[in-house]
Amino acid sequence: HSKESHTLQVILGCEMQEDNSTEGFLHFLRHLRDIHLCHFISYFWKRTR
């Protein structure tokens, strides 16, 4: 899990450097939610198979 958290930190860092406005932050949150959803689905998918 440490690798995943590192990736998130990198994404967070890039996102914040690119755009420090509220719009950029909301975009990041949306992106983060999509990633979380993706992980959840893949996790659930592995459990059910």
Residues 16-25: tens digit of each pLDDT: 555 556 777 7
Q: Which residues contact 35 (CB under 8 A, 6 or more apart)?
A: 8
CA distance linking residue 45 with residue 25, whole number of Å:
30
- Distance, in Å, from the CA atom of 23 to the CA atom of 47, rounded to the nearest integer, reads 36
The burial of 15, by beta-carbon neighbours within 10 Å (0-12 exposed, 13-18 middle, 19 or more buried), is given as middle
pTM, whole model, 2 decimals? 0.36
Phi, psi of 27 (to 5 degrees): -60, -40
Q: With bands split at pLDDT 50, 70 and 90, how would you rate the model's confidence at 37?
A: confident
| Domains in the chain: boundaries | 2-48
